[in-house]
Amino acid sequence: MRLIAIDIGNSLINIGFIKEKNLSVFNIDTLPIRTPEEYEIIFRGFLKKLEEKTAIGVIISSVIPGHAIILGEILKDIVEVEPLFVTHKINTGLKFNIQNPEELGSDRIANAVAAHELYKCPVAALDFGTASTISVVGRDATFMGGAILPGIRLMNESLARGTAQLSEVSIAPPLSALGKDTKSCIQSGLFYGTAGAVEGILNEIEKEIGYDLKLVSTGGYGGLIVKYFKRDVELVPHLTLEGLKILYMRNKDA
């Protein structure tokens, strides 16, 4: 297998090249949007660096409307294969017990698919990026829903915009929950606050569904935030790309 998997997020575009069991990852900023010619140079450079000339498959997940189509056309010209775009309508291996599944982010679909495939049990995929999202797969491979809250960076920026005396701080783990100056107080709020909020939501979800969930963390801040959880959380840095690989394999002959 030689697969290009692309996860277009609000902040970063993660580009994965999957060759058998090996995964090579490269990322670029989502904004500013580049010209088609610039994207073509980036993708060709990525393949050249890997000493690969082509791929047999392309799969794209995007939370930016229209962006997936642009990159899909560029990759179609480069590798001469039709891209697969992630939606709830493709073969995911999951059942969707939610309202308006067409509104579900394709990244959350990929996360849920990967988390369920990895652990084969009821699981919550926690993605800490621009937004912090919880995606729950219950018994019988059913996507049940979840929660969305502002991510660490958004909270940091919001405090600076919405207050007179607070500034953005470096997003670095606090030394303790008890901040001793303004900077460390904000950092405590960002990290302990996010972890506490997500754990609180998960506790309520588990009460509602009547059983416990395995927890898996991913996203740009996923590795930083897990140490502030009281519960055990497995870290899978490239969970979304792993999900895209699984989705491609389930749909490649469709």
Catalytic residue set: 107
d(CA 179, CA 127): 26
Give me the amino acid identity at 106: S
Give the Å distances, CA to CA, from 214 to 100, 116, 233: 25, 10, 8
Residue pair 58/103 in contact (Cβ under 8 Å)? The answer is no
Query: Strands (DSSP E) along 37-81, which ranges?
Result: 57-62
Of 58, 65, 77, 52, nearest in space to 4 by CA = 58
Which DSSP string do the residues of 146-185 spell out, in sequence order? EEEEE-HHHHHHHHHHH-SS---------S-SS-SSHHHH
d(CA 88, CA 95): 9
Q: What is the largest CA-CA distance in the chain?
A: 58
Residue pair 233/212 in contact (Cβ under 8 Å)? The answer is no
Give me the amino acid identity at 83: P
Which DSSP string do the residues of 82-140 spell out, in sequence order? PPEEP-TTS--S-EE-SS-GGGS-HHHHHHHHHHHHHH-S-EEEEEESSEEEEEEE-GG
